[in-house]
Structure 1
Amino acid sequence: MATQEQQQPTKVFKILGVAEWQAWQDSGSFRGASIDLTDGYIHLSTAAQSKETFEKYFAGQTGLVVAEVDLDKVADPVRWEASRGGALFPHVYGGIPRTAVARVFEEVNGELFDRLLAEQS
């Protein structure tokens, strides 16, 4: 089971390209996009952080999906570490099994992230 700090959400999000999502499905596990592999962990965001992540790193890109990841189904270590503005972000040190993906969203836009945030409120 994932280790995480108290009162952190167990459902978090990964924004990735369609080809990366297809590879995740095919292999059954996700080890990370190129930025994740460079940094040594898989970058994830909470519902509250996802819209800013999308706007900062994925603005104008097409062919994206958002995977909702259930951290309770991730066996590798999950660490909540300070990033933008000192906010704690979930980072997976290892891989995420396909079975940890609760939902996948193929229409990725700002409205999606507003809806995801509203669901967790």
Structure 2
Amino acid sequence: MTAPSPLPTYLYKILPSAPPSPLPDRLPLSDLDKKDGYIHLSTSEQVPGTADKWFNEFSELWLLKIRYETLASGTDGDGETKSDGKAEIKWEEVGRGVFAHFYGGDLGRGNVEQAFKVEKGASWTELKLEW
């Protein structure tokens, strides 16, 4: 599937609860990520809709902010670049758009730039990310 143009500066992983602090080299995968075999990610424009569809019952969520170029270069959660080319971003069509999926790698302190909490207003669709 074709990547969006222009490519996003950041991708986000939505978490239903706070990640460990400080972040470890490898965060545990969600049940869905384990089942599907990749890490589900969203662009800043996709986060509100994804949160509304999959996390509507939560009043607060945590977002992991990840620089796109870091994952695209194959940087794993421990900060090491996988030279075997197995850690990669693939853009794949899902019913409501084209989403980034991270295959063959983990998220952790070596590739997550920031973790922060967001709170739901009347709806997650009202959430605005500045970047």
Quickly name the TM-score band, shorter chain normalised.
0.7 to 0.9
Per the alignment, residue 92 of structure 1 pairs with: 102
Deviation at 1:23, TM superposition (A): 8.2
Q: Distance in 2 between matches of 1:60 and 1:68?
A: 22
Q: Distance in 1 between matches of 2:125 and 2:15?
A: 17
Per the alignment, residue 15 of structure 1 pairs with: 14
Per the alignment, residue 82 of structure 1 pairs with: 93
Q: Matched residues, percent identical?
A: 28
Q: Distance in 1 between matches of 2:16 and 2:118?
A: 12
Larger Rg: 2
| Shift in alpha-carbon separation, 1:80–1:23, aligned structure 2, 3 A | farther
Instruction: Say how many residue pairs are matched.
Output: 111
Q: Distance in 2 between matches of 1:111 and 1:69?
A: 21
Gaps of 5+ in 1: none
| Shift in alpha-carbon separation, 1:50–1:63, aligned structure 2, 3 A | closer
Can you list the C-alpha shifts for 1:85-106, whole angstroms capped at 9, x where unaligned?
3x21000002123222222221
| Shift in alpha-carbon separation, 1:38–1:48, aligned structure 2, 3 A | same
What TM-score, normalized to structure 1? 0.76
Q: Distance in 2 between matches of 1:68 and 1:17?
A: 15
Instruction: State yes or no: 1:53 paired with 2:50.
Output: yes
Does the aligned pair in 1 maintain the 2:49–2:125 contact within 8 Å? no
Larger helix percent: 1
Gaps of 5+ in 2: 75-86
User: What is the identity, as a one-letter code, of the residue corresponding to 1:99?
Assistant: G
RMSD over aligned Cα atoms:
2.5
Q: Distance in 1 between matches of 2:41 and 2:23?
A: 18
Q: Distance in 2 between matches of 1:39 and 1:24?
A: 27
What TM-score, normalized to structure 2? 0.71
Q: Distance in 2 between matches of 1:96 and 1:43?
A: 11
Per the alignment, residue 106 of structure 1 pairs with: 117
What is the DSSP-based 3-state SS (H/G/I as helix, E as strand, rest coil) of the residue aligned with 1:35? helix
Q: Distance in 1 between matches of 2:21 and 2:34?
A: 15
